[in-house]
Structure 1
């Protein structure tokens, strides 16, 4: 994470956008805001942004469509903003690659905490904190490099992962052959600000299985332990 993190906000409510922008700028962040998805691609291509804050209820192209398009082209962390009770949108947002979500109405301090948490997990500082040694996990031919934050398959192909997917895989690698509850996984990957939305972990598990498993419908690596949680079922070496 740079000394002055750069945030792109897509929010059509000018009052909310101004409030968020002022608060983030007062806390040392550089903020660019736009009211719709029309210029998202141009902004991302022209600017070096650290994170995208994306409202889902936008005029014209909706936030879910924008999220899907951005994720296909960029690895920038994305926090989606949803309305109270719109669980379907939260799930869809996470399924198509968002790293976290915040629910309206929200406190600006909560948004700042979530931004900082995501940047700690995905930014350059997280690579420094990983340390110069013991930063590679290996299991069943897979290699997970904490320093580079990349994942290489047994065939030698690099597998693209969002920040949230990588953090979840990291948590499993730290705790192989141990059942982890949804609450434990939420705390390990999102921290105490995440809230009780356990369905988000189920969505991330599904996304991770699509990338790791030969048959995601009958997973052998990340197994479900009924009424308890999930487990990485493999010996893991750390080198």
Structure 2
């Protein structure tokens, strides 16, 4: 038996067959779903209807996903998951820092999209149970991170990287954006340097009394902090 979650998902996708398949997956999970296939229809609908999450394709007729994301962000913090058929677009999207909560490349698995959407919704609509003890606490003055009264010291660069990702859970950061966050003097460092810092940071975080690995690599793109 399907249990309705009440959360409403707006799928903006001009490939009608793909949109219908994705909608069925979400409906089987108990979500309400609305489909729009033309970019020019999105803002009119969004202005007069409540939605809890938007899955927004980059290449749309009428109005493209980039401009729609900017328009939506100008008036709402509703979660947005952007999709694109072009792998090389992911880095450009991240560089623009449009405010999307996740980026997915086509072809994708509908199950994966549903799982990632569920994770985003869980983050913005947290459980009523008090789960603050499951989160890391960052102390900028001490350059430290703590969990369950165990504190770990970090370098300034490591703290900058962690604080940047923790501030926006589940948002994917490119290595270039992390470079700017970690180095205030605009020095030139390689992607390999960022990878090295992340590796050392992960090793330090293993000292915290939690089995969860919250720093995730996104192949070919960068990193994110997931909860």
TM-score, normalization: structure 2? 0.62
Counterparts in 2 of 1:228 and 1:33: CA distance versus 1, 3 Å = same
Name the CA distance, whole Å, in 1 between partners of 2:85 and 2:146: 34
Name the CA distance, whole Å, in 2 between partners of 1:14 and 1:77: 22
Aligned to 1:205: 178
Name the CA distance, whole Å, in 1 between partners of 2:46 and 2:19: 18
Does residue 1:130 correspond to 2:103, yes or no? no
Instruction: Return 5+ residue gaps in structure 1 as ranges.
Output: 141-171, 232-239
Distance apart, 1:118 and its partner CA: 1.1
* Aligned counterpart in structure 1 of residue 29 of structure 2, from 4, 27, 30: 27
* Aligned counterpart in structure 2 of residue 229 of structure 1, from 197, 204, 207: 197
SS in 1 for 2:61: coil
TM-score, normalization: structure 1? 0.59
Name the CA distance, whole Å, in 2 between partners of 1:133 and 1:117: 16
SS in 2 for 1:124: coil
Aligned to 1:177: 154
Deviations 1:101-137 (A, max 9, x none): 1111111101101101111222233x74534999976
CA RMSD of aligned residues (A): 4.0
After superposition, where does 1:1-239 map in structure 2 within 5 Å?
A: 3-84=5-86, 86-87=87-88, 89-94=89-94, 95-125=97-127, 128-131=129-132, 139-140=140-141, 177=154, 179=158, 189-190=169-170, 200-202=173-175, 205=178, 209=181, 216-218=184-186, 227-229=195-197
Q: Is the 8 A contact 2:81 2:103 kept in 1?
A: yes
Counterparts in 2 of 1:206 and 1:130: CA distance versus 1, 3 Å = farther
Instruction: Return 5+ residue gaps in structure 2 as ranges.
Output: 202-227
SS in 1 for 2:114: helix
Name the CA distance, whole Å, in 1 between partners of 2:67 and 2:126: 28
